[in-house]
Structure 1
């Protein structure tokens, strides 16, 4: 049906939700635009559901809130459960620490009407930090779903980038249902070999573009991303760089298929060459900067973490990379 379903995937979010829900409840909408809010509880052990229900009743929002449960840990599972429950044809993913601007839903909906080939739309994240920013923050702000998602005036980033960050993104449900009919399954399932794997938003963007939909970024869609102190530590950004690199390696099949289908480039991927390259640059960093400490030469330390994550992913998933015929089986017959 015509309208927007706002999905909030939560895990122990009781302290964050009131402000997030407040900004959703204050959206400036035209009378003909129906909206619903779906909170997907992904195994919370706190009072997330009770807080959400009580607060929504308190603010007397003009559209309904439904609370559903997904017991399998992993954001992608919560996302799929939310989409399955959604009544409307546009899905807005709002994280529990995202504060949407007052015109976010209406502006996003209008943008889709103006671009019928669009499958996925991204916004512009603005940081709100609970502590003073660390010295490396501005350089690596993009890792936190912040700032612009395109480098040119053109908002169509289907070929340039091929994905948008999940926070604040809006998905055409038709595109997702088409993917599922083709047999699409997430490669990034939250955890792999004991490592937390982010990047389900990247994977969804690549998949949507591979079946012919456009990916756009609109800087007029703004939201505040509230970042807690725990996410602004040196230890956190190192873990983040490593896990992002691990998941990026798992998305190589998508990049190769995009090169073939959208850019007419023949796949030249070699697991051996990729592994040797990552090992070379990882070891080269130690040879050139053997005494780089955690608070010295930030780029070098974080590059090491990224190389290590990529090497671990390539090694742990070697069969996936070597057997190209097994790549993205849902695409083979389409």
Structure 2
């Protein structure tokens, strides 16, 4: 019987995946734990498969390491593959740029055992930057799955309001298979930058608890390309255009027309106010440029979704 599964979802991760595996290989406190590692290759076009297979051929640990290929592109499909292949009810998801701390597996399993009502839970995510982040990065850090804090809490209790609801980032998140199977639809509708929000919203709607576990920690590798102007504009545009669809998941069909109007008025007000206050920085400040793109596309997201 397997008590815990670690699933590493990777796309073209030949240069990163071995670092994650080495971190898992050096986990402590797992001597009495029956666990496994799955590598979900999400249709990579580089040498990820060859690198992993060679690593597996030299694998001598008592816990199994398995390679799986998922041809359907997208993180939601990679995670669905992991749910299908995992032999345990608790599945800890790592990306190929997530480096777990030595006690990550033990703490993740222990928390799941202690909180049977937790459908999903994440932990502390520390940024490990290739270059110094730009000034003001702390304002957008959460969009890059950076989250720190030394106190464990329930998201359901800390963010009960629909308007201010927050969910744990997807990096290093642990999903209870039972919660996924009864909550998450077969076909995700949101693109990769918002798949976690859609997944966690469905789990929350089914009555499962979502938690932040301060004892689970990992480093998230952030390359310098993430701070380039073109990347930030594209990234925040994708996030903004999905906002309307995500918001409407929280309302009944009869409520949606009313809430759409309320959100649109408020969103355009925020975008105009931000532009007036920051127009002198919108050519040179990449963080402000990203924030402006986000606010603008959130305002336009109802029209984008209606057109689709």
Give the alignment's TM-score, normalised by structure 2: 0.87
Q: 1:288 to 1:172 in 2, by over 3 A?
A: closer
How large is the RMSD of aligned CA atoms in angstroms? 2.7
Does the 8 Å CA contact 2:126/2:148 hold for their aligned counterparts?
no
Shift of 1:32: 3.5
The farther-off stretch of 301-310 and 108-117 is: 301-310
Q: 1:280 to 1:49 in 2, by over 3 A?
A: same
Shift of 1:289: 5.2
Match of 2:259 in 1: 270
Does the 8 Å CA contact 1:271/1:318 hold for their aligned counterparts?
no
Q: 1:312 to 1:71 in 2, by over 3 A?
A: farther
Give the alignment's TM-score, normalised by structure 1: 0.81
Within-5 A mapping of 1:30-45 = 30-45=30-45
* 5+ long unaligned stretches in structure 1: 191-196, 261-265, 321-334
CA distance in 2 between counterparts of 1:276 and 1:156 reads 31
Q: 1:114 to 1:305 in 2, by over 3 A?
A: same
CA distance in 1 between counterparts of 2:250 and 2:131 reads 37
Cα displacement string for residues 66-105 of structure 1 (whole angstroms, at most 9, x for unaligned residues): 1111112111111111211111111110010011111111
Does the 8 Å CA contact 2:241/2:304 hold for their aligned counterparts?
no
Match of 1:175 in 2: 179
Does the 8 Å CA contact 1:149/1:164 hold for their aligned counterparts?
no
Q: 1:210 to 1:61 in 2, by over 3 A?
A: same
Shift of 1:232: 2.6
* 5+ long unaligned stretches in structure 2: 160-164
Within-5 A mapping of 1:110-149 = 110-148=110-148
Shift of 1:236: 2.4
SS at match of 1:116: coil
CA distance in 1 between counterparts of 2:110 and 2:76 reads 27
CA distance in 1 between counterparts of 2:149 and 2:232 reads 20
CA distance in 1 between counterparts of 2:182 and 2:33 reads 24
Q: Does 1:199 align with 2:194?
A: yes
CA distance in 2 between counterparts of 1:286 and 1:131 reads 28
Q: How many residues align?
A: 301
Match of 2:162 in 1: none
Shift of 1:296: 4.2
Does the 8 Å CA contact 1:149/1:217 hold for their aligned counterparts?
no
Match of 1:313 in 2: 301
Does the 8 Å CA contact 1:162/1:206 hold for their aligned counterparts?
no
CA distance in 1 between counterparts of 2:46 and 2:178 reads 34
CA distance in 1 between counterparts of 2:247 and 2:302 reads 10
Match of 1:304 in 2: 292
Shift of 1:34: 1.5
Match of 1:227 in 2: 222
CA distance in 2 between counterparts of 1:217 and 1:310 reads 27
Match of 2:213 in 1: 218
Match of 1:72 in 2: 72
Shift of 1:21: 0.9
Does the 8 Å CA contact 1:90/1:170 hold for their aligned counterparts?
yes
CA distance in 1 between counterparts of 2:94 and 2:208 reads 22
